[in-house]
Amino acid sequence: MLTSKKIVYHRIAEQGVVSKADLMSSFNIKTSTMNRILEELVSEKLIEDCGFGPSKGGRKPILFQISSSYGYFFGLEISRFYSSLGLFDMQMNPKSFIRWRMDEDMNPERFVQHVSEQVRALLNDHRIESKQLIGIGVGAVGPLDRDKGIILEPLYFSAKGWRNVPICRLLTKATGIPAFLDNGANTALLGEHWALRQDQMQHMFYVHAGVSLRSAMITYGQIVHGTVDMEGSIGQMIIQTDGPRLYDNGNYGALEAYVSVPALEKQARMDAKMGRDDLTSRYHVDPEKIQYDMLLRELSQDNPYVSDLFYRAAKHLGIGLANLINLFHPQMIILGGTLVSSHDRFLQTTIEIAQKNTYYYPKYKPVFSKGVLKEDAVATGAALMVWKQMDI
């Protein structure tokens, strides 16, 4: 619940440094009430004064900022290829970041053990006591049951066992720290929105193009949660009614069949079976052994065939983005994932096609960005999620 006290605290955090006059101009709150709120926040050591601002004819105003050492948060990303853990102070400054590969041995039990070990190591390195920890935010690959803290049935994990995992309960038991769960697309967008808070973006969309397609939307600073938590639903957007489908249970002509790591691998393998031997002869592999890392290597060397594979995928992603833009009209679209970062041309092509098919363009020009936080966005947003839920 957002109380006046919490709203004022959040505004101080967002502004960085602020005076009482600045706060009074932002809220319809009586002076006596504002004085009481500020006194409570100072006495509880949630905020602190940080000097004086310039005089506007009278006494110099006292400036306030939130106390960075009041408490600490962990932000945890659970992804298919890599996971990461970040330690943050109250001002969302990262104290440390650790990233590791999700290999075939990283099942849920080993994962929780590894996280617990890293948590203890980071607390020891920064001389932080466990009682100063407020929570662990988890941004994970979906689908999820956010309320129950369960990772349901994600695809493509190298290790076995990632099905119906009560990740929040396991993490809390192992670390003694409360854990909270949301999908990684949501926390990534939450983190990027925070990093761009001075730009006052109210409506933003996030699309991650990698092993799967994932998306999230934020409006007036709030993540939009649907009736069910299916961050990968964007991949089932139909862009060609008579097109192929990637898996047996997906839509025909769905976006994921054209824009995803498995889609590129599938197309390269099919072409190799039809006689194209660019990759099989160079890497001495059977068609079914063609992997995405081979495609990336060839893309970096301007292999014409592989470049065309990525170029076509970028055009289809642009069509998918145009559909989303025409539906929601966001101010900014943030693009992430291994496909987006594969080559500058991929991003440029995606944006060009999206703009070309945006209905009100160029009168309406949404901003396209790879974001500020990039690979740290999921973990940062996960920590921020806990910060926003904190009782004040």
Q: Do 162 and 240 lie in a common domain?
A: no
Q: Do 80 and 153 lie in a common domain?
A: yes
pLDDT value at position 86?
A: 98
Q: How far is CA 146 from CA 168, 180, 190, 199, 333, in A?
A: 10, 8, 16, 30, 24
CATH number of the domain within which 54 lies: 1.10.10.10
Q: Do 298 and 155 lie in a common domain?
A: no
Which range among 211-215, 243-247, 330-334 has the greatest average pLDDT?
A: 330-334
Distance CA 290, CA 131 (A): 50
Among residues 19, 40, 66, which one ends one of the domains? 66
Mean pLDDT score, 320-343: 95
Task: Give per-residue pLDDT as tens, 145-161.
Answer: 999 999 998 888 999 99
Q: Do 43 and 105 lie in a common domain?
A: no
Distance CA 239, CA 257 (A): 10
Q: Do 203 and 339 lie in a common domain?
A: yes
Q: Do 10 and 102 lie in a common domain?
A: no
Among residues 35, 66, 97, which one ends one of the domains? 66
Q: Do 135 and 53 lie in a common domain?
A: no
Q: Do 122 and 15 lie in a common domain?
A: no
Q: Does residue 208 carry a pLDDT above 70?
A: yes
Q: Do 309 and 237 lie in a common domain?
A: yes
Q: Does residue 361 carry a pLDDT above 70?
A: yes
Among residues 22, 49, 66, which one ends one of the domains? 66
Beta pairing partners, 84: 77, 99
Structural domains counted in the chain:
3
- Which of 31-35, 94-98, 349-353 comes out lowest in average pLDDT? 31-35
Q: Do 280 and 136 lie in a common domain?
A: no
Mean pLDDT score, 298-306: 96
CATH number of the domain within which 148 lies: 3.30.420.40
Task: Give per-residue pLDDT as tens, 64-111.
Answer: 999 988 999 999 999 988 999 999 999 999 999 999 999 999 999 999
Q: Do 164 and 239 lie in a common domain?
A: no
Q: Do 159 and 307 lie in a common domain?
A: no
- Asked if 384 and 137 count as a contact pair (C-beta separation under 8 A), the reply is yes
Residue span of the structural domain in which 29 resides: 4-66
Distance CA 256, CA 28 (A): 48
